[in-house]
């Protein structure tokens, strides 16, 4: 099971290491006794809300010593951990690397964080002023100015009263959809978010003024991906926290597209096979303009033995199928609501069906509904 991060989310000075040893980890339980068999922590003293939202995916890894029963755990921080599912030990090297320091008074940071080193990282290149993006030169300049106002020293930069930029954000990286595996082709498929958030620690004595300033600046109005100006009290700590997506005044991410991708990895050779933008702008654009820039996404993929990968997930009312080996899109269909869920498949009377749940996502701004839609695959023999 994937474990949540220990509360409070964004301040760790009061966290008990003994109580939080299972936080932000993948943990195996003995099904007879319910007791932990083993646990592997993906983030130490997590103050970034990088809880393990995705389920682990089981796969047998081909090695020169034979097949090893493994699991792949994807994380919000964009890491892929490959563990021996019998023991919880990493099957590929993991480095403990020093991460940014300089936290607020009272905070206690872990000195290092784990980084898998064999499979390519899902984390995109670090942000810079030059990498800020905009639909127009004006909102690009706004994003650059906002970037320079924030604290950002790469992944695991600690929260600050100045305002810290988080990339990947607590949305992910990889959220609850996780990864899917084609065991015959030894391929791993995963959809990834590439959007940033701003988190600002606010001393409780300054809360009323800070929230009033945010409302006056327009940060309290709703955006398609998240309500701006969201505030979390963090009771019992010295700080509350204000969260917002890193969006331009037009409501578009300041980070460069694609904002969501679907990627394939070769598990045997530990290489990235292909990477494609996932999703278009049609259902988010006021004019219905459809550009395949890749969108934020929730929900995972389904891989079939024939070599197809089915997925909804993107911030639009559309589902697709891709060639698992090449990434070529083979099929797409419109659905009446947002398909932000992992599809499933079944066989009846010798014919295979793929089912999508289309319920919508308030965070992604897709249409709500209560549909289950089954598609039959042609050419069954």
Report DSSP state, residue 129. G
Q: What average pLDDT score do residues 276-295 get?
A: 87
Report in angstroms the alpha-carbon separations of 90 from 57, 62, 72, 79, 116. Answer: 15, 15, 10, 13, 9
**Helix H segments across 60-206?**
137-149
How does the average pLDDT of the chain come out, rounded? 91
In this structure, are residues 112 and 97 in contact, taking their beta carbons and an 8 Å threshold? Answer: yes
Determine the Cα angle at 135 with ends 134 and 140, to 5°. Answer: 25
Instruction: Give the gyration radius of the chain's Cα atoms.
Output: 21
Confidence of residue 225 (pLDDT cuts 50, 70, 90): very low
CA distance 80 to 85: 14
- Which pLDDT score, from 0 to 100, does residue 166 have? 96
Q: Count CA atoms within 13 Å of residue 72 on its CB side.
A: 27
The whole model's pTM is what? 0.91
Q: What is the pLDDT of residues 69-101, one digit of tens each?
A: 999 999 999 999 999 999 999 998 999 999 999
Higher pLDDT pick, 322 / 63: 322
Mapping DSSP to helix (H, G, I), strand (E, B) and coil, where does residue 93 land?
Answer: coil
Strands of 75-147 (E only): list them: 80-84, 94-98, 112-116
- For the beta carbon of residue 219, count every other beta carbon within 10 angstroms: 18
Q: What ranges in the chain are assigned the alpha helix state H?
A: 137-149, 207-216
Q: What is the pLDDT of residue 283?
A: 85
Q: What is the pLDDT of residues 168-182, one digit of tens each?
A: 999 989 999 999 999
Pairing of strands 197-203, 164-166: antiparallel
Asked if the model's pLDDT at residue 325 lies above 80, the reply is yes
Count other C-beta atoms under 10 Å from residue 150's C-beta: 19
pLDDT on residue 217: 56
Q: Which of 320, 316, 248 is nearest to 280 (CA)?
A: 316
Question: Mind telling me the catalytic residues?
Answer: 49
Would the pLDDT of 109 be above 70?
yes
Note the pLDDT of residue 119: 84
Q: Is the pLDDT of residue 268 over 90?
A: no
Question: Looking at the predicted structure, is the pLDDT value of residue 251 above 90?
Answer: no
């Amino acid at each position: 099971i994937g474990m949540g991060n220990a509360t409070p989310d964004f301040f760790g000075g009061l966290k008990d290491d003994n109580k939080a040893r299972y936080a932000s980890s993948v943990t195996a339980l003995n099904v007879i006794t319910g007791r932990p068999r083993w646990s592997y922590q993906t983030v130490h003293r997590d103050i970034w809300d990088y809880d393990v939202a995705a389920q682990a995916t089981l796969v047998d890894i081909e090695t020169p010593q034979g097949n090893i029963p493994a699991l792949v755990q994807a994380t919000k921080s964009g890491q892929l951990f490959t563990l021996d599912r019998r023991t919880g030990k990493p099957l590929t090297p993991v480095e403990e690397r020093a991460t940014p320091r300089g936290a607020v008074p009272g905070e206690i940071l872990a000195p290092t964080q784990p980084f898998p080193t064999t499979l390519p990282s899902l984390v995109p290149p670090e942000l810079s002023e030059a990498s800020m993006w905009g639909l127009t030169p004006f909102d690009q300049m706004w994003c650059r100015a906002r970037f320079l106002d924030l604290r950002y020293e790469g992944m695991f930069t600690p929260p600050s009263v100045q305002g810290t930029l988080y990339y990947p954000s607590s949305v992910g990286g990889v959220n609850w959809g996780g990864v899917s595996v084609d065991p015959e082709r030894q391929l791993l498929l995963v959809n990834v978010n590439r959007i940033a958030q701003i988190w600002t620690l606010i001393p409780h004595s300054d809360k009323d003024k800070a929230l009033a300033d945010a409302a006056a600046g327009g940060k309290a109005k709703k955006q398609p991906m998240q309500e701006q100006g969201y505030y979390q009290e963090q009771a019992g700590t010295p700080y509350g926290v204000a969260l917002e997506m890193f969006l331009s005044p037009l409501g578009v991410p300041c980070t460069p597209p694609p904002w969501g991708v679907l990627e394939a990895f070769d598990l045997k050779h530990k290489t990235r096979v292909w990477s494609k933008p996932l999703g278009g702008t049609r259902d988010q654009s006021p004019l219905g303009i459809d550009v395949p820039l890749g969108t934020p996404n929730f929900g995972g993929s389904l891989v079939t033995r024939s070599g197809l990968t089915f997925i909804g997930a993107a911030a639009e009312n559309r589902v697709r199928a891709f060639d698992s080996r090449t990434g070529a899109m083979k099929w797409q269909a419109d659905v009446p609501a947002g398909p932000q869920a992992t599809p499933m498949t079944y066989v009846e009377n010798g014919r295979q069906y793929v089912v999508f749940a289309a319920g919508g996502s308030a965070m992604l701004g897709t249409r709500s509904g209560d549909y289950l839609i089954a598609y039959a695959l042609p050419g069954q023999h």
